[in-house]
Amino acid sequence: MAKAQPSRGFVWLQCTETGDLNYRVQKRIKGNPYKIEVQKYCPRLRKHTLHKESKKK
């Protein structure tokens, strides 16, 4: 019997200005075609910047 694929998984939020992977968040994977884009704090720049979803390499 095959195991079911998990419905939630972890993704990283990458700063658009520095390229740093600053945050790891959970996201529903099944049935969600959208990528996360949020304003989060970037410790390197010491200000809030746009962070987009990416996969860790």
20 inside domain: yes
1 inside domain: no
Structure tokens at 29: 């994977």
What are the backbone dihedrals phi and psi of residue 9, each rounded to the nearest 5 degrees, phi first? Answer: -150, 170
Instruction: Give tens-digit pLDDT for 11-25.
Output: 999 999 999 999 999
Contact 16, 49 (CB under 8 A): yes
Write the CATH number for 36: 2.20.28.120
Question: What total number of domains does the chain contain?
Answer: 1
**Which domain, by its residues, includes 33?**
8-54
Instruction: Give tens-digit pLDDT for 21-55.
Output: 999 999 998 888 899 999 999 999 999 999 999 98
pTM here is 0.82
2 inside domain: no
DSSP summary character for residue 32: -
- Per DSSP bridges, beta strands 47-54 and 21-28 are unpaired
Residue 55, pLDDT score = 86
